[in-house]
Every structure is written in C-alpha cells, then in structure tokens.
With several copies, the nearest count.
Chain A
Amino acid sequence: MDTPEGFEQHREWEKQLFAGGWSVPAWPEKYGGRDCSLVEWLLYEEEYWASGAPGRVSANGISLLAPTIFSFATAEQQERFLRPMAAGEEIWSQAWSEPNAGSDLAALSTKAQRQGEWFVLNGQKTWCSRGAFADWFFALVRTDPEAERHRGLSYLLIPRDTQGLEVREVARIDGQPGFAELFFEDALVHESNLLGEEGQGWAVAMATTGSERGLNLRAPGRFMAGADRLVALAASEGQTSPPGVAGLPVAQAAPDSGSAARGAASETLDSLREDVVRCWVESRAYRWLCYETAERLASGESLGSEASFMKIFWSELDVELHATALRLLGETGELAGPKAQAGGAWMDGYLFALSGPIYAGTNEIQRNIVAERVLGLPRR
C-alpha cells in the first residue's frame, strides 16, 4: 500500500472486489452493494479478514465519508460519488486537521470565501490519511470568518487537481509516503461540492466522527484475524528457523546457569502466553459487543457516545496485539522488510497500529467523551 506501485495493486484489488459485489455489501444495490444487514456486514468482515485479504485503501471513503453522503448529500451527489468510491476509481482522503487544530477541531481556520457559485480557499490542512494517493479530499473549512469555533464551518468535497491546491506528501513513521499536507492558495471549489448546508459543517462532520469511532471504521473481524495469527505465531514459536530466516527467538537461547535454568528457552514463551490469550479474548469481546450493538441499532436505537469506548478499545488492542507478536519474535522482532517474519507484516502492523490511539480524536479526548457523555461527569 505504501509505495506508488503498491498503491496501484490495491486499487486493482478494490476494482475486483467491487466487480464481485464485495466492496460495500452493506450499501444499497444501486450503488454496488448488497443491502445486507449490519450483522451480515460484521460476518462479511470476519470472512474478509480471516481470508488474509489486504487492508482497504478506500476505507476513508467508504467508512468515513459515505455515511455522511448517505445522510446529507443531494441525490446528484450520491449519484456522482458513491459508485466510483466503492469501485476504487476515486480514492478519498480526510482533510480535517490543521497545524493548529488537531484534537481541537473547532479551532480550524482554513477559509472558504463565497464568490458566486464558487468557494475561494486559503489555508493549510495536514495529516490527511492516505492523502499522498488520494483523488479527492473531504474537508471542513470556515465559510464564515466572523463566526467562532463550531459555527461558520462548511463541509466541502475537493478534487486533488483543484487549481491553487498544492499537495505535499508527508512520510509516516515507517518512512513511507501516506499522509499529505494541503496548501490552498485562492483555490476554487464549486458549490456543487458542498455537502450539507453552508455553515452546517460541524453537524455534518460530527455524523462522520460517529462512524469513524464506531462500527464502520473497525469491524471486529480485523482484530479477530489478527489475534488468530498471533495465536498461530505463539503456537509455532520455539521451533528453530533455518539461518537467514527470521523467527529465531535469539535472546531466549541466551546462556543461563545454575538455578536460572528455569527461566530459559520454552518457559520464556510461557510468560507471553497470557498476553497472547488476552489479545484473543479482547478480540472476541469486541466481537460480542459489536453484535449486540448491531442488534440494538437494528431495533432503532442509536449508537451515541459509546462509540468512543469502542475506539479506545480496538485501537489499544491493535497496539497490544502487534507488540505481543514482536515480543514473541524476540531479538528478531525489530526486523523489518521482506526478510523479516511474515514479510515484515508484524512490524508494519505495529507501526500502523500506533496511529490508532492518536487519530480520529486521541484516546485522551475519547476518554473525556466517555466520562462526560456516557457517565455524565461535569465538563469542568
């Protein structure tokens, strides 16, 4: 996913999925879906990830933007955007954060001034996930410069080839391109790309935030498959590997003497077994919570702020899961790239997982939300 070539392979995969009707099974048929229920979608996700299929480069679009489009877009916009998004023909990136507005989203300052049918954009966006490869950005911009904080914001859909928009790639922690910074200098975006009403961007955006933190972004199938792979790794550890192949738990074979004998070799593994089990248990706990939630949603209830503790849970589980795998790998855990165990997938996964507790509202913000909105503690 992380190189231009890798990205093209991913796009190809999205096209194949879409052709088979498996890109967006929960969507209406007219947009390439199968109208399946939330529970069916959860099951689909379990199968998808268990099969070892790759991550979805279209995730920002189909998980974050699409729910907003279904709720707020005009019929024309739905017609225009949904199918190409589902088909992987148009890849979307979220352009919300600004250098001075990360957790504090209401502080954002990129201006979009109305001039007839057009908005004139000036300002800067940063940390746009997958922005390096995206065709479109969905952004929150300030259309009323007089209004403060949450007021006066609008939700815009912005093509990458917009004149006056410069896209600068920013490498992620693994050194691979992924993020983008956007610089707007009198960039023109047409009013047909306004999502929801002008000035209502905050309300529109919060609907997306709900899906980002809740079920749509991270189905349990992903973590169940990860935990299963972790269990398999733990079960295979202790078997020596041929030279040149990673997987030898080097430190576990370090010399021991006298009564230290009990602390060596296979018993080292024992101390990690419980961590492995904990990850497996939590992946299943997330599963049961999601099924229960899906049934509640199906009976007309809404998700609300509980989405925040889901986000804390899966993001921290994802870090633990990969950290445990790296510990199991011992001294070879630090290896990266194709010569590492599983082609470097564990290290890649670890680096990817580290973003979880940060993005889509840091887990500190999420804990505030749980305390204030779920438990009802006073804001200040």
Chain B
Amino acid sequence: MKFSFGSDQLALAETLAEVLAKRCPPELVRAVWQSESGYSEELWEALGELGVLAVAVPEAYGGLGMNQVDLVKLLEESGRAAAPVPLLEHAGVGVPALAETTATELAEHWLPLAAAGEVIVTAAVPGSEHQGDGNTVVSLVSYAAQADLAILSCQGELFAVEQQNYQVQELESVDGSRRLGWVEWSPQDAFGLPGASSESVFERGVLAAAAQSIGVADHLLETTVAYVKEREQFGKPVGSYQAVKHHLADVAKAMGFARPSVYAAAWAVSQDTEKLTQQEQQKFVSAAKSLASDAADLAARKCLQCHGAIGYTYESDLHLWLKRAWSLSASWGDAHWHRRRLAGLLGI
C-alpha cells in the first residue's frame, strides 16, 4: 500500500480541477439547480472529452482501465466545484458495475458510450428498494429521469434497466443537484448483471459519496476562511476572534483526518477480496464515510455560522455547498449508519 498518489492520478485530478474552475462557476451550478434538464450537458460533454468518464471503463471498451484509487480525487474535485452532473452515479457506481459483469454483450454495448459521455448510467443504493404494485419494484434513484440506464437491485440481485423500461416519479430535494425520483420497474424488463455484486455497488457508492463530501467541505472551509478575513465587526476582521478561529480550526482538523481515511478506503475497495477480505474492505469504507459525513456536517454548520446572516440568504452561493454537504452526508448511509455497521464488523 502506498500513501500517496501517482503522478498520472494527480495530473488528471489537476486538469479536472482546472476545467471545473473555468467551466463550472457558481453561476452554472445555480442555473442548473433551477433548470429543467437537471444537469449541465456542456459540462458532461467536457468531462467525456477529458477522459474523466472513461476512468473505470476497461481499456477493451475504450476506457482507461483504472480503479477506485484513480477515481477518488476526481470525485473530490467534482465535490469541490459542486459540479451539477451525475458523476457519482455514473463513474463512481454505474460504470464499475457494468465493467464487472460477465454479461459481455451488455458491457460491449454500454461501456464505450459511457466512456465517451454519450449516455448516463445511474445506480441506486442496493437493498433500498421495496415492493411496488403487482410484480414491480420501487427504487429511490438519483438522476433517474436523466439517465439512459439504471443499475438497480432486487433481493440482492443486480439488474440493468433501460430508461424506457422504468417509470419515474420525480421528487424535490433540498439539494438541487440531487434529481431524485421513485423509479418503478420490473426485473422481467431488465438485464441481469451476473458477476457484478450488489455489495460492491454499495461500497463504491459509499466511497464516492465520501470523496465528494470532502471536496464540498473543503470548498466550504476555503470560502469561509476568505470571508472571515474580509468581514469586519467591532473594528477588526471577524476571523481574528478566537471563537471563529476555533470553529474553523475544528473544521480543518476534521477534514485533515477524514481525507487520508477516504483515500485509504479507495485503496481498500480496489483490492482483491483474497488479499483484503470483504469485511476488511467494509471497515475501511464505513470508517471513511463516517469521518467524511461528520466532517461535511461540521463544515456546513460552522461555515454557515461564521458567515452569519449573509450565508443564510439564497443570494449567497454558500447554500449551494451547504445543501450538497447535507445530502451527501446523509446518502449511502449516514455517519450513524456506518458506525453501526462497524460495530457489527468489530463484533461488538
């Protein structure tokens, strides 16, 4: 195990950061949140061109054949920019599941398209589905209305469902980047995904949410540090008050400790289960998510407080990141849920 990233990994992440800084300003995020389309098609295209969507696609299908370690910093950057695209669902969860299946026809058809960004693949939390009317299943899926293919589970089995085979009832989230919907579908109208496991889908989704969370929290901390240096009250910058300093020092500390654990979890889930058992991998993942969720929640709370009333308005961009932090911290299992899973894994 190495505790640092390779230069390829860093270069791609850096390039992505530059592209996002240029092409994904807060104005874009704000516009997409209020849009009909639900995501930025231009940005999606740019990510496709950059190769970001091809990272976890095997080379045989036009991808880069990389793994979760390569993805983690990309997801972190997308979180930092609050990028309004289904990167978590597509690159973090959907594509790796397709790459894993032994249903090669399915992979052959979808993966080259996915690598190029010509389609969107989404995925739901396995096990979150419930029984619908008749033979249908109902799953809570993000970007369901935007996706071409959804990776869904039913009783522990994974399925790939094409858009024309599911019905979406759209929901409203506090986070405009989360285009959630109840999806009604039937396993009869879906492709099985032999070889892909719902456990892996879950671990990867958790990891991706953790990675985005730390990017979001980083941005919150950075903008708040900048704000409290500028904003003056009682004749000096509010950032010179010890209470504000300690709020932000606590956020910095939480971030500083969550990040290496998220990277370690990315390493863990990219290991063969013969080298690192599934249970050991789960420990890494749950530890990372609990730390990242707590850090994001803390960042959201403290950064709003340090902004004061201005941060409580819709005009300020802060709320875009606050709401991303909340929804990411709660999705794919919140900190509590993951600590409970760890309790089981640790035998207590």
**Contact present between A and B (CB < 8 A):** yes
List chain A positions with a Cβ less than 8 A from chain B: 39, 97, 100-104, 107, 126-127, 170-175, 179, 231, 234-235, 240, 243-244, 246, 248, 250-264, 267-268, 270-274, 276-278, 280-282, 284-286, 288-289, 291-292, 294-296, 299, 306, 309, 312-313, 319, 326-327, 330-337, 339-340, 347, 351, 354-355, 357-359, 362-364, 366-368, 370-372, 374-380
Taken together as a complex, chains A and B put the C-alpha atoms of A170 and B311 apart, in Å, by 12
The chain B residue sitting closest to A351, CB to CB, is B174
A174 touches B314 (CB 8 A): yes
* Chain B residues whose C-beta falls within 8 Å of the C-beta of A254 in the assembled complex: 125-128, 202, 332-333, 337
B208-226 vs A, Cβ < 8 Å mask (1 yes, 0 no): 0000000000000100010
Give CA–CA (A158, B176) in the complex, Å.
38
On whether the beta carbons of A285 and B257 are closer than 8 Å, the reply is yes
Q: Top 9 nearest A-B pairs by Cβ distance?
A: A371-B245, A171-B314, A263-B344, A288-B260, A263-B340, A263-B341, A250-B128, A370-B249, A243-B138
> In the complex, what residues of A have CB within 8 A of residue B249's CB?
309, 312, 366-368, 370-371, 374-375
- Contact of A251 with B125 in the complex, beta carbons under 8 Å: yes
| Cross-chain contact of B252 among A267, A285, A375 (Cβ < 8 A) | A375
Residue pair A336, B140 in contact (C-beta under 8 Å): no
Residues of A within 8 A of B182 (CB): 243-244
B312: A residues at CB distance < 8 A: 172-173, 354-355, 358
With the chains together, A257 CA to B43 CA distance in Å?
38
Q: Which residues of B contact A39 (CB under 8 A)?
A: 3
User: Taking chain A's interface residues, is the majority helix, strand, or loop, or is none over half, making it mixed?
Assistant: helix
Known A261-B344, A312-B253; further 5 A-B contacts with Cβ < 8 A: A235-B348, A259-B279, A285-B258, A335-B174, A380-B236
Contact flags (1/0) for B326-347 with A, using CB distance below 8 Å?
A: 1100111110110111111111
Are B140 and A248 neighbours in the complex by a CB distance under 8 Å?
Answer: yes
Residues on the B chain within 8 Å of A276, using CB = 343, 346, 348
Residue contact B228 to A377, C-beta cutoff 8 Å: yes
Q: Which residues of A contact B156 (CB under 8 A)?
A: 255
Q: Is the CB of A274 within 8 A of B202?
A: no
Of the residues A179, A284, A299, A331, contact of B330 by C-beta under 8 Å: A331
Q: Specify which chain B residues have a CB less than 8 angstroms from the CB of A296 in the assembled complex.
A: 4
The answer to whether B339 and A274 touch across the interface, beta carbons within 8 angstroms, is yes
Q: Is the CB of B233 within 8 A of A103?
A: yes
Cβ-neighbour of A251 out of B128, B133, B287, B301 (below 8 A): B128
8 Å CB interface, B117-156 against A: 125-128, 130, 132-133, 138, 140, 156
A-B contact list, 7 entries, CB within 8 Å: A171-B315, A254-B125, A259-B345, A268-B340, A288-B261, A366-B249, A367-B245
Cβ contact of A127, chosen from B239, B246, B309, B326, cutoff 8 A: B309
Give the residues in chain A near B128, CB-CB below 8 Å. Answer: 248, 250-251, 253-254, 331
B163 CB–A CB distance under 8 Å: no
> In the complex, A100 Cα to B230 Cα: how many Å?
11
Q: CA A211 – CA B252 in complex, angstroms?
A: 20
**The stretch of B45-53, B57-65, B165-173 that contacts the partner chain:** B165-173
In the complex, are the beta carbons of A107 and B233 less than 8 A apart? yes
For the complex, what is the distance from the CA of A333 to the CA of B175, rounded to whole Å?
11
B87, CB-defined interface residue at 8 Å: no
CB neighbours of A380 from chain B (8 A): 236, 240
The reply to whether A331 and B246 form a contact with Cβ atoms under 8 Å apart is no
Task: Please state if A370 and B343 are interface contacts (CB–CB under 8 Å).
Answer: no
Output the least CB separation between B91 and chain A (Å): 21
Flag whether B95 is at the interface (Cβ < 8 A).
no
Answer whether A257 and B199 are a contact pair too, CB < 8 Å, given A102-B309, A331-B331, A335-B180: yes
**Shortest distance in angstroms between B193's beta carbon and chain A's nearest beta carbon?**
15
Which residues of chain B are near A363, meaning CB under 8 Å?
A: 305
Contact B331 A251 (CB under 8 A): yes
Cα-based distance from A337 to B291 in the complex (angstroms): 30
A271 and B339 contact, CB distance less than 8 A: yes
Interface of B is mostly: helix
A257 to B279, CA, bound (A): 8
Contact A377 B337 (CB under 8 A): no
**B246 and A294: CB pair below 8 A?**
no
Contacts of A339 in B (CB 8 A): 171-172
Which single member of A274, A282, A354, A372 contacts B245 (CB below 8 Å)? A372
Whole-angstrom distance between the alpha carbons of A256 and B331 in the complex?
Answer: 16
Q: Is B164 an interface residue (CB 8 A)?
A: no
**Residue pair B225, A170 in contact (C-beta under 8 Å):** no
Contact present for B263 and A288 (CB under 8 Å) = yes
Q: State A337–B172 Cα separation when bound (angstroms).
A: 6
Asked, given contacts A277-B342, A334-B330, whether A289 binds B233 with beta carbons under 8 Å apart, the answer is no
By the criterion CB–CB under 8 Å, are B253 and A370 in contact? yes
Flag if B240 contacts A378 (CB, 8 Å).
yes
- A102 to B231 Cα, complex, angstroms: 11
Q: Are A274 and B291 in contact (CB under 8 A)?
A: no
With A285-B260, A309-B249, A376-B229 in contact, is A256–B341 under 8 Å at CB? yes
Contact B125 A331 (CB under 8 A): yes
Complex Cα–Cα for A37 and B236 (A): 44
Is residue B264 within 8 Å, beta carbon to beta carbon, of the partner chain? yes
What is the bound-complex CA distance between A274 and B261, given in angstroms?
A: 18
Q: Is B242 an interface residue (CB 8 A)?
A: yes
B309 adjacent to A97 (CB under 8 Å): yes
For the complex, what is the distance from the CA of A355 to the CA of B307, rounded to whole Å?
Answer: 11
Query: A171–B313 contact, CB under 8 A?
Result: yes
The reply to whether A367 and B250 contact each other, CB–CB distance below 8 Å, is yes
Q: Are the C-beta atoms of B348 and A273 separated by less than 8 Å?
A: yes
Is B250 a contact partner of A359 (Cβ separation < 8 A)?
Answer: no
- Nearest residue, chain B, Cβ from A364: B243
Q: Would A255 and B309 be within 8 Å (CB), given that A276-B348, A278-B339 are in contact?
A: no
Q: Which of B171, B184, B225 has the most CB of A within 10 A?
A: B171
Say whether, besides A256-B341, A277-B346, A371-B248, A240 and B314 are in contact (CB < 8 Å): no
Please, which residues of chain A bring their CB within 8 A of the CB of B301?
Answer: 319
Of A171, A288, A294, A375, most buried by chain B (CB within 10 Å of CB) is A288
Q: Within the complex, which residue of B184, B242, B278, B331 is in contact with A257, where a contact is CB–CB below 8 Å?
A: B278
CA distance A337 to B322 in the complex (A): 18
Q: How far is the CB of B82 from chain A (nearest CB, A)?
A: 15
Closest to B318 in A: A173
Per the bound structure, the CA–CA distance linking A294 and B260 in Å amounts to 12
The answer to whether the Cβ of B282 comes within 8 Å of any Cβ in the partner chain is yes
Residues of B contacting A306 with CB < 8 Å?
A: 256
State whether A104 touches B234 (Cβ < 8 A): yes
- B291–A285 touching, CB < 8 Å: yes
Q: Taking the nearest CB of chain A, how far is it from the CB of B256, in angstroms?
A: 5
**Max count, chain A CB within 10 A of own CB: residue among B138, B198, B238, B334:** B334
